A and B are shown apart, each in its own frame.
Chain A
């Protein structure tokens, strides 16, 4: 069987015509020739494992894991996905060739269960034995205990945490050494990191900021695309100068691969995201560029003047929120491939632009904002 190469690297095209090439995960459509950053990755940039590992992925069928599991299979590991089976265990990616999909599908294994059923987790994992666990969907520390107990010879526990754990600060960007907020919405992630540390497990914790890319189930870029497609103005809270940061899911998956079996990553925490930040206003414009939409009309409003009930009027925290990704770069050589517009274009071309999305458009809060005459200029 021919080896099918799944690669995330956007190979630069130097032709003057927009060209599309079939890479893994579909078409990399280069919309602008203005420049192409050429990053030459030496051979073996991805960790070439000396041996194939038996890997368990908690989750893996929804977003990050879909990309991560493909890379793991490609690297020659034996990959098992632990899910309840709500989402299909495998699904072809937009633009993925049948050959590539079948090669992947034939190798991936599924362990069906509820990770909150701790007895089942303990027994099934102990029976199987795994070398490495990727915990992509863990939220609470107690979910991790049965996994660690069941796998005493575990080589590495790789955890998807969140930059949401950082304590809000006037000094930015957030760095891995900064104070964390034990009261944050993400305290479960913090408690998990602490548990891993205290249990002496060889763990690596990854803290993404906002993740985006094709198949995103969190309406990040999708929120903007809906409005751009509908030709609606984009309502942005307050000044629109708030700075946030997006990281492409494929870069995140690549980062997860790079920490695998990496001794330097032992018991370390890494921020993983794009290497540029962006203002809310800038993000709206970047989404427009990505989808080939005209420059959008931005409406700024004071959220305090409205009552949106339970609905969220904007998909981002109304504050500066960004993290430095230098540590991963300096220590592990992890450098994101996608620039913001490139990444949003990839997401648009492979997902929203094909007519797919996770949440239907809901302009209720927009209409509340637009209906009132009191808007900030």
Chain B
């Protein structure tokens, strides 16, 4: 592998964007660009970046040369995390804050809404004292008022882990720019990829043109010199705000069948949230390597829907009965019936591995054991839960002749 020692006067990127933001123009804009980056650590290599316009599904391919992210020499950063107050992504900000604090950075978490709202009684918000104990600050407000709440403050890095469209992110991005933030990070979603028959979703693949996140990615790429977008899928981890594995535990622990739509062969990606947080931290500590890049923010293993059910059962040390059903047979209830998309939904974290030297640490079998222990510890196994839709599904399966 050829290596190039560049003179270390500055870390200069000869190219601009590694991957242009999802563009919808039909013309080809390809540019081959070389970049050489000089780090204080010893691994210096020539890297080449492809810039592709994603007007069609295409193969993402990197040159064989990879950039080795700088070793531990990283300055202390002032990081602002704008966090949603509910939903699957809420826990990302919590882990990210704690990891940054652990690495010696300065962290402020700006959570949407009111500190006194009922939403703050749920995890991870109920555990925000851990952020404060770690030396971080927690504030609340609406995105429109961000300039007021954070008046006079300047951050090196701003992460928006809240908005899903321009309406909600633009105020944050604009304020971040005007207050002098150098790096803007956005939690987007792997759900914006167009379905494909050639998985996995790879950074640069076609996305749904009308997705709010797409508009945000485009906007921040225009406003900031140094921006990055992170597209997650599903995640597990203590402090999660939205059920994931719990849906399976609820049924397994009560000896109820687990109804899975379709064949159960659908692949998805369930990451431990610490994988997401470590990827974000790498981006903060290696801003040059992360600049202008879209990252699939996921672990590096896929699991089938049947597979998750089996792994959850194994983690609980209990048997599981999986039943498959045709979601069309239950009509409008189908969406609420099952917590995952009824299709292959699998992205791989190639950009993070290639450009940040990031490694996945998710180990579903082990992680689910911990999750199950907590599930029991909080007494959820004894909770009285209604399974109305499940019952509907099971009933419908009895009626029609089993396939």
Chain A residues within 8 Å of B, Cβ to Cβ:
34-42, 44-45, 170-173, 238-239, 241-243, 275-279, 281-282, 285-286, 302, 320, 324, 326, 329-330, 332-335, 339-340, 376
On chain B, the residues within 8 Å of A45 by CB distance are: 64
B267 & A38 in contact (Cβ 8 Å cutoff): no
Interface residues of B in 81-97 (CB under 8 A from A): none
B263 & A239 in contact (Cβ 8 Å cutoff): yes
User: Which 7 residue pairs are nearest across A and B when measured between Cβ atoms?
Assistant: A282-B197, A333-B64, A170-B307, A239-B263, A339-B59, A276-B198, A171-B301
On chain B, the residues within 8 Å of A334 by CB distance are: 64
The docked-state distance in angstroms from the alpha carbon of A320 to that of B303 is 10
On chain B, the residues within 8 Å of A282 by CB distance are: 196-198
The docked-state distance in angstroms from the alpha carbon of A204 to that of B364 is 30
Q: Which of B28, B197, B302 contacts A173 (CB 8 A)?
A: B302
Q: Which of A35, A320, A335 contacts B58 (CB 8 A)?
A: A35
A35 & B52 in contact (Cβ 8 Å cutoff): yes
Knowing A37-B50, A172-B301, the reply to whether A241 touches B265 (Cβ < 8 A) is: yes
Closest B residue to A280 using CB positions = B197
Among A44, A173, A239, the one with the most B-chain Cβ atoms within 10 Å of its Cβ is A173
CB distance from A62 to the nearest CB of B (A): 28
CB distance from A224 to the nearest CB of B (A): 14
The docked-state distance in angstroms from the alpha carbon of A36 to that of B344 is 27
On chain A, the residues within 8 Å of B197 by CB distance are: 278-279, 281-282, 285-286
The docked-state distance in angstroms from the alpha carbon of A312 to that of B302 is 29
Among B62, B65, B198, the one with the most A-chain Cβ atoms within 10 Å of its Cβ is B198
On chain A, the residues within 8 Å of B350 by CB distance are: 326
B2 & A42 in contact (Cβ 8 Å cutoff): yes
A376 & B403 in contact (Cβ 8 Å cutoff): yes
CB distance from A16 to the nearest CB of B (A): 11
B364 & A239 in contact (Cβ 8 Å cutoff): no
CB distance from A281 to the nearest CB of B (A): 6
Q: Which of A170, A241, A279, A329 contacts B64 (CB 8 A)?
A: A329
CB distance from A124 to the nearest CB of B (A): 37
B302 & A335 in contact (Cβ 8 Å cutoff): no
- The B interface is mostly helix, strand or loop, or mixed, namely loop
CB distance from B282 to the nearest CB of A (A): 16
B311 & A37 in contact (Cβ 8 Å cutoff): no
Knowing A282-B197, A330-B66, the reply to whether A170 touches B59 (Cβ < 8 A) is: no
On chain B, the residues within 8 Å of A40 by CB distance are: 32, 48, 63
Among B55, B301, B308, the one with the most A-chain Cβ atoms within 10 Å of its Cβ is B301
The docked-state distance in angstroms from the alpha carbon of A320 to that of B245 is 23
With A282-B198, A330-B353 known, 15 other A-B pairs at CB within 8 A are: A37-B58, A38-B30, A41-B63, A44-B2, A170-B307, A173-B302, A241-B263, A277-B198, A277-B199, A278-B198, A282-B197, A324-B300, A329-B62, A334-B64, A339-B59
B56 & A34 in contact (Cβ 8 Å cutoff): yes
The docked-state distance in angstroms from the alpha carbon of A36 to that of B30 is 9
Q: Does B8 contact A (CB under 8 A)?
A: no
On chain B, the residues within 8 Å of A332 by CB distance are: 64
Q: Does B111 contact A (CB under 8 A)?
A: no
On chain A, the residues within 8 Å of B199 by CB distance are: 243, 276-279
A333 & B1 in contact (Cβ 8 Å cutoff): yes
The docked-state distance in angstroms from the alpha carbon of A329 to that of B66 is 9
On chain B, the residues within 8 Å of A302 by CB distance are: 403
Q: Does B141 contact A (CB under 8 A)?
A: no
CB distance from A249 to the nearest CB of B (A): 18
The docked-state distance in angstroms from the alpha carbon of A286 to that of B304 is 24
